[in-house]
Each structure stands twice: as structure tokens, then as C-alpha cells.
Structure 1
């Protein structure tokens, strides 16, 4: 009888531990006062002061890390690589999370041929596109290395030059040999990160966050 009571008590302790198991929490994206959390496989962008999956609350966040409240305990989290459901490390890919910015657009800092650039993500643009002034500032001699073309824009047909960019990089994701377009005049006003780059990475929009991932 005593053995049965001990066995029952042990089982109750195991069940209690399972029911109160701490959620598996990862921070896979960091922004000012917001973090992208993955809690027990559920992914969501959570702003400071809000509660996300599994009752995990974001207390504060910046580019260095996030302070979370997990099961009533305050903990510091650094940016981590995502893992698959089996718990083992996934393929060694580079990842980047981008939140909407000015004008409700996706903006991301990067570089073009090693020159720093602020990109506007544009899935409607066929190529990485820029105007003549931007190309000159980036040291691109488009009239010499480019092939003349005519581009169809919202304002009508515009003369341009098709070029090959040595490297385009956003975050830690770098793509080599990317097609670009230089358009005559002042449009576009921002350097567009178009499909010649995006088609060579994995991307999707989820809960107001644009997720980019390099291909193996």
C-alpha cells in the first residue's frame, strides 16, 4: 500500500512538472521596442508592453536584446537562430526580419557593391532599381557598363540602362551578380530592392513582418 502511495505521488509530480513546463522561447528578430518571438513554434511580432504566444510579455527591446517576462520571471534574451521542431539546428541560412516603416513600407539598410544604401522593398519592381544620381553616388558608370533599355513605369516609358551589380547585401544576407536598372531622371526617389534580389532568397510576410532567408 505504501509503495502504491509513493508511485501515485511520483506520477502527480511528473504530471505537474509537465503542465507547468516553461515554454520554449526564442527571439529571432529585434527592433526598437519590439521583438519577433517564437514560443513553442508560434511566431509573432510583439511590441514592448504587449503579451505574445504562451503568455510571454515583452518588457523592452532594442538591437542588443530583449527583456521578457516568462512565467512571471524576468529574463534577458539575445538574438538567436531559429530551430526546427525537432529541436536540432536547421540549415545554416542567414535570416532577417523587417518591420514596416515610413509610409507603411518595408525599409532596410544594406549595401550595394559595398556602398551603404537604404533600400525600399518593392515586390512590384523587376530589378534592383535606382535613378541616375543614385547610381553616380554609388560609383556606377552605367553609361559605359550598362545596356540601353526602355522601362515601363507608372509615368510612362523611361530610358534606362541594364547593369550587373557585383553584390547586394541586406543584414547578413548577400547575393552576388544581381541585375539592376538605372533609370534616366529623378525616379525612383529611393533605391528599390526588387525581384532580381528577392527571387534569389526566400521571403514571406507574416504578422506585419517581412521575413528574408538566404537559400542554401
Structure 2
């Protein structure tokens, strides 16, 4: 019965050095199945914690918010950040690719939670208007430009983001293109990635901050 209620995925994410490999295996009601290092499963109700101190804060339809070392982080089914070093160690993030070879991870812009899709073909971080508003960006005060899309030429606004965070890596003053329409994800483009050392390890993308 329980197995039928679980929405299963293989998600690994971490924001603390002593909780590497934390992930979300399933959600049902107000409970979540949290995966910790060594593939150990913990079924938690909201407010409960694993023996190593990972506390379940809230549960959504396909996500869960956990608190690791005093820092809250959103884990999502289908998104796999394998490991993310804390800020007081090497700023390094490993993201596992999905079945289509895409690298999707949870992060934040100006403190607002965002779903990132790594896109080396995008010149800048690109996001839709709704996400920009959630991040408190008055994008129409930015510089207007135009972008060629599948539906033709569309207006965009060029702004600087105060903060872009992925795991233990946080950058300030990142160029971004805000699109007038909404987008399903935020494209993590080269204005962020060009400050990283990028490498591949099997199906994993490794990002390490250079400056």
C-alpha cells in the first residue's frame, strides 16, 4: 500500500559537508522519504529529523523542504544535485544528468527558489517575467533588447542579479535576460557558468567556482 502511494525518483542533493548525498525518494501526504549518504531511507513527518539532524520542514506535491545545518533547501523529485560543498570549503557542485542528458538543479535568485537548467548555449541567465517578479526584480528598469525565439523576435530586459545561488556556490552581479513571457525553468547561462570550472564525470556535471 505504501509503495503504491510513493512517487519515486532518484534525487540526490546536499547543502552541508556532513550530509553529502541527501535526496528525496518519495512524498505522500505530510511525509517524505529522505535519502541520506549510503542510500539510507528515512520516512519523516513534517518536523521530524533523521539521526544526523536533517529536519523535514514542509512537503509539496513533488518536493520537500529540509533544513541541513541551519540552512533550508528544497529537494525535488527528478532533480539530482549529487553533492554541493558548503561555503567554508571548496565551492563545488556536482549535478547528475537526467534521462535526456539535461542538468537540472534547484537554486535561488535573490533568495527566491528557482529551478535551473544548465544551458551553455545561453549567453546570460535567462528567466521569465513571473520568476523575475518573485525575485523582486523590477526588470522594466533594465536595458531593453530583443531576442530571436522560435516564435519570432521578442523583447527582453537586461539586468544584473544581486545573487545567484546553486548549492554552496553564490555569485553576485550576474547578468540576466528577463523575457516578457513565462518560462518553465531558469536557464543557467554563461554569465554564471563562465565563472566556473566545468568538467564531466560520467553522467555528472561538475561545477567549481573559479572567481
Query: What is the Cα deviation at residue 153 of structure 1?
Result: 2.5
- Other-structure match for 1:107: 104
Q: C-alpha distance in 2, partners of 1:102/1:167? A: 30
Cα 1:31–1:203, aligned 2, differ >3 Å: closer, same or farther? farther
**Counting helix residues as a fraction of each chain, which structure ranks higher?**
1
SS in 1 for 2:122: coil
Instruction: Please tell me whether the aligned partners of residues 144 and 155 of structure 2 are also in contact (alpha carbons under 8 angstroms).
Output: yes
Aligned equivalents of 1:142, 1:102: Cα separation in 2: 34
Partner residue, 2:38: 66
What corresponds to 2:209 in structure 1?
214
CA contact (8 A) 1:178 1:196 kept: yes
Q: 1:193 and 2:188 equivalent? A: yes
Q: Unmatched 5+ residue regions in structure 2?
A: 1-18, 25-33, 40-81
1:68-99 CA-partner distances (Å, limit 9, x unpaired): xxxxxxxxxxx9999xxxxxxxxx52111101
Match of 2:93 in 1: 96
CA distance in 1, matches of 2:84, 2:156: 41
1:160 correspondence with 2:156: yes
Alignment: residue pair count: 142
Residue in structure 1 matching 2:121, options 120, 124, 127: 124
Bigger radius of gyration among the two = 1
Cα distance in 2 between the residues matched to 1:211 and 1:149: 32
Q: Structure 1, unaligned stretches of length 5 or more? A: 1-27, 34-61, 68-78, 83-91
Structure 1 194/80 Cα, relative in aligned 2: closer, same or farther at 3 Å? closer
Q: TM-score, normalised by structure 1?
A: 0.57
Q: TM-score, length-normalised on structure 2?
A: 0.58
| Aligned-pair CA distance for 1:163 | 0.4
Check conservation: 2:107, 2:115, Cα contact below 8 A: yes
Within 5 A, what are the aligned runs for 1:1-216?
A: 30=21, 32=23, 64-66=36-38, 93-101=90-98, 103-144=100-141, 146-186=142-182, 188-216=183-211
